[in-house]
A and B are shown apart, each in its own frame.
Chain A
């Protein structure tokens, strides 16, 4: 199994809603990532988990709250989002954290619309 699975594929939420994005991998990877991608732009790193601990937070607003319950799962909890947060949210994983030549495996993403 070489897949990173993200759910849901599409999400529409209001600015007062609370929702969660989920990501799962069963490749035994020990690093997991959240990226945000606006249309026609490159992915931007948000968070990195290394051995289930948060190792990088790219100064992301607190309305985004990541969680790594175990080595296979990664969540992104959303609360009080703004319309400008609408984007494709990509989860990725890699075998070894902090390995500069590591290949990232990406999920297909969650397309988020904030109304």
Chain B
């Protein structure tokens, strides 16, 4: 069965520092992978998605993620954190049936 694991339920960085949120997937076939962000009291918003076209995927708000098949990883990065990046981040994998399965989430805290 497909699943995703997010390493670290809470990540804290200083403003201007590198953001790295980790996601590993388990799948017998190349999956479709997504990163969503959820701000407080809001729904989820797609940051980026991997659909096999390119291994380095650029998303909104300066985020990007690299698909590494050898490591079964899809980590999310941003070179310089802003205060507005503080939110909950979910990695997700989709099934062929159209079901989207989310990881447990990582809370990103940005310190001034």
Contact = CB atoms under 8 A, between A and B. Distances in A.
Interface of A: 4, 6, 31, 40-43, 45, 48, 50, 55-56, 90, 92, 94, 97-104, 106-109, 111
B45 A102 contact: no
B112 interface: no
A41 B104 contact: yes
Interface stretch (B13-21, B66-74, B78-86, B92-100): B92-100
A44 B46 CA distance: 17
Contact of A45 (B96, B99, B103): B99
Interface of B: 32, 34, 41-46, 49, 51, 90, 94-105
Contacts of B49: 101, 103
Given A45-B99, A101-B51, A108 B43 contact: yes
Contacts of B41: 108-109, 111
A94 B36 CA distance: 15
A43 B100 CA distance: 10
Nearest 6 CB-CB pairings of A with B: A106-B43, A42-B102, A101-B51, A98-B98, A106-B44, A100-B94
B98 A103 contact: no
